[in-house]
Chain A
Amino acid sequence: MSNPMVSLVDAGKSYAQLDALQTITMTLGEGEVLGLFGHNGAGKTTMMKLILGVISPTQGQVEVMGMAPDSKEAWHCRSKVGYLPENVSFYEQLTGLEVLTYFAKLKGFSKKEAIELLEQVGITYAMKRQVKTYSKGMRQRLGLAQAFIGEPKLLLLDEPTVGLDPIATRDFYKTVDQLKANGSSVILCSHVLPGVEQHIDRAMILSSGKLLAMGTLSELRQQAALPVTIKPSGLNGTVAINTKLNGFLSSSCQQTLMVPEHEKLMVLKELLSLDGLNDIHVEAANLEQVYQHFLLEHKLSEHELSKHGLSQPKQVKKGQG
């Protein structure tokens, strides 16, 4: 990771009324896949636009492949960057092939490459049809083919799996893994989706323009200090009388133990020493729970702040709603 693909140093973007993105510092290395999570309006798209060089930061620095992406010098790098916008409807009256050929030509490629890409995303059968006849999933595939033009070194994908069926989603993640293996860096922007965990190296959680957390999944799990769920079976109440274990019993379900990460091994050893244990199920907090945790924490701290602020009644109401 000598030269980071993308680096943001205290970068932020504010408009007259709104801080769309507050000072963010991050780097993305070669061949790394970053998951960017947050609700609508969290600043994901703004961050992507900054990296794409479509808008300029109002503070801090943004560098892509060692250059400011909104500068003239970075021009030739643009053909090395692929982007899938969140809501794009391509020229409806053109055929899929015509659309992709147009975009390929703008990046300096030809119709031949366009056809290959359509094969890759599996819509060659419909390439002679007008885009207006395409289903949501086919449009999404066309968009992906567009983002893959020219084997980009950096890919920014906004909600890439929306509208894709499970098989297409699997194919998509396969492609991401392949690109990653070839040394491309990928930023996946989405709401938290099941199945995305295995394909990302690091996650970044944004909310209302602020960076809430960033790190590998296990780092985030640790930060969030979410308990591990352990479900032993065949013990018939021995857990409830074991003083070492009964403190961890979940209040809602008597068969389940909620154990902090650092005590997991101790509890497991204790459980294994018990007679009658015939199965054990251990589940660490998943990305969705980690995400919920950070959002909740953020909401609470804002709530706390507003209590001491001036606009108390209004803010409290908002928090409840």
Chain B
Amino acid sequence: MKQIFTVANKEFHDGLRNRWLVSITLIFALLSVGLTYFGAAASGVLGVASLSTTIASLASLAVFLIPLIALLLSYDSFVGEQESGTLLLLLTYPLSKSQLLLGKFIGQGGIIALATLLGFGASALLLYFQLGDADIFSAFGLFIFSAILLGLSFTAIAYLISLSVSEKSKAAGFALITWFLFALAFDLALLALLVGVEEGVSQQGLTQLMMLNPADIFRLINLSGLDASGVNGALAAAINASLSQTELISALAAWVVLPLMLAIFIFKKKKL
């Protein structure tokens, strides 16, 4: 346990030193405050938009940004240390592979989680001062919690990439492709399946397919709670047949735990 903490502490401080925490927090805060104020501009009103519109726009923003940031932060965690030789050295220490991996996960996951909390929390506070509505905290609470899970999930996926390749540049390439697949291509494919194939998938089947993508689970969690008026497309169809919030959150949590366990497994098999 002490070993895990030592590694986590180092990784967290690296995140602070490299200004990751500050930049991510700023990006989230600026974008979310901006969306909160100007999100309603499209419907002709300037000023604080309604809570559900705000959450909906924040979720569609976060679903692109958070995976990208998590992958960027963590893709070189292992392959980078392997290239510089410190990975081999660390493994001669009284430190097991799972301790090293979990330590890194807690440290880097901590950066993502804290940045998400501070960045989006800022706009929650702002909304609260404007509207004075205590519902804001429960709505934002769910949003921030699921956003953190989404970030952790992609941190774990980044470790999978980092442990499976032998060069940093390759890891960067794979990270980009992974982001593209999960954040963009998957949804396009789903839409094509819905529109292009007659009697292809039922609503039930569609929802099940969406469980294969943590980004989509995140969308479902945040949009299904809202009045569905502002939501259309494949999502709307899925929402109608949706699973309960608890089930969705468990599915997203599984997307954190399973890649993490797989990463530990790959790390243990890895030839040094």
Check: A102 CB closer than 8 A to any chain B CB.
yes
| Known A93-B14, A102-B10, A105-B6; contact A78-B86, beta-carbon cutoff 8 A | no
- Report the nearest B residue to A156, measured CB to CB: B92
- Measured CA separation A188–B131 after assembly (Å): 71
Q: Is there an interface contact between B94 and A75, defined as CB atoms closer than 8 Å?
A: yes
Across the interface, A107 reaches (CB within 8 A) one of B10, B17, B88, B94, namely B94
List A65-110 residues whose CB lies under 8 Å from chain B. 75-76, 78-79, 81, 83, 85-91, 93-94, 102-103, 105-108
List B73-89 residues whose CB lies under 8 Å from chain A. 84-86, 88-89
Shortest CB-to-CB span from A79 to chain B, Å, is 5
Q: Is there an interface contact between B90 and A106, defined as CB atoms closer than 8 Å?
A: yes
| Known A49-B272, A54-B91, A85-B88; contact A106-B14, beta-carbon cutoff 8 A | no
Check: B93 CB closer than 8 A to any chain A CB.
yes
Check: B95 CB closer than 8 A to any chain A CB.
yes
Check: B204 CB closer than 8 A to any chain A CB.
no
Q: Mark B1-17, 1 if CB is under 8 A from A, else 0.
A: 00100110010001001
User: For residue A54, which residues in chain B have a CB less than 8 angstroms away from its CB?
Assistant: 88, 91-92, 272
| Known A88-B86, A90-B86, A102-B10; contact A107-B272, beta-carbon cutoff 8 A | no
Q: Is there an interface contact between A106 and B92, defined as CB atoms closer than 8 Å?
A: no
List B120-166 residues whose CB lies under 8 Å from chain A. none
How many Cβ-Cβ contacts under 8 Å join chain A to chain B? 58
- Measured CA separation A85–B87 after assembly (Å): 11
Q: Is there an interface contact between A78 and B94, defined as CB atoms closer than 8 Å?
A: yes
Q: Is there an interface contact between B88 and A106, defined as CB atoms closer than 8 Å?
A: no
User: For residue A78, which residues in chain B have a CB less than 8 angstroms away from its CB?
Assistant: 92-94
User: For residue B6, which residues in chain A have a CB less than 8 angstroms away from its CB?
Assistant: 102, 105-106
User: For residue B14, which residues in chain A have a CB less than 8 angstroms away from its CB?
Assistant: 91, 93-94
Q: Is there an interface contact between A107 and B93, defined as CB atoms closer than 8 Å?
A: yes
- Report the nearest B residue to A82, measured CB to CB: B92
Check: A52 CB closer than 8 A to any chain B CB.
yes
User: For residue B93, which residues in chain A have a CB less than 8 angstroms away from its CB?
Assistant: 78-79, 103, 106-107
Check: A55 CB closer than 8 A to any chain B CB.
yes
List B221-272 residues whose CB lies under 8 Å from chain A. 271-272
List B1-35 residues whose CB lies under 8 Å from chain A. 3, 6-7, 10, 14, 17-18
- Measured CA separation A90–B87 after assembly (Å): 10
Number of B interface residues at 8 Å Cβ cutoff, please give it.
20
User: For residue B88, which residues in chain A have a CB less than 8 angstroms away from its CB?
Assistant: 49, 54, 85
- Measured CA separation A279–B181 after assembly (Å): 83
- Report the nearest B residue to A106, measured CB to CB: B93
- Measured CA separation A76–B96 after assembly (Å): 12
User: For residue B90, which residues in chain A have a CB less than 8 angstroms away from its CB?
Assistant: 106
Across the interface, B92 reaches (CB within 8 A) one of A81, A89, A94, namely A81
Shortest CB-to-CB span from B76 to chain A, Å, is 12
Q: Is there an interface contact between B3 and A106, defined as CB atoms closer than 8 Å?
A: yes
Q: Is there an interface contact between A106 and B85, defined as CB atoms closer than 8 Å?
A: no
User: For residue B3, which residues in chain A have a CB less than 8 angstroms away from its CB?
Assistant: 106
| Known A49-B272, A85-B88, A88-B85; contact A79-B94, beta-carbon cutoff 8 A | yes
Q: Is there an interface contact between A91 and B94, defined as CB atoms closer than 8 Å?
A: no
- Report the nearest A residue to B103, measured CB to CB: A106
10 closest residue pairs by CB, A with B? A88-B85, A78-B94, A89-B84, A52-B92, A105-B6, A83-B92, A106-B93, A79-B94, A85-B85, A102-B10
Can you list 17 contacts pairing A with B, beta carbon distance less than 8 Å? A54-B91, A54-B272, A78-B92, A79-B94, A85-B85, A85-B88, A87-B85, A88-B89, A90-B84, A90-B86, A91-B14, A93-B18, A94-B14, A102-B6, A106-B7, A107-B93, A108-B94
Q: Which residues of A contact B (CB under 8 A)?
A: 15, 49, 52-55, 75-76, 78-79, 81, 83, 85-91, 93-94, 102-103, 105-108, 146
Q: Which residues of B contact A (CB under 8 A)?
A: 3, 6-7, 10, 14, 17-18, 84-86, 88-95, 271-272
Q: A15-B271, A55-B272 are in contact. List 15 more A-B contacts (CB 8 A).
A: A49-B88, A54-B91, A54-B92, A79-B93, A79-B94, A81-B92, A87-B85, A88-B84, A88-B85, A88-B86, A105-B6, A106-B6, A106-B93, A107-B93, A107-B94
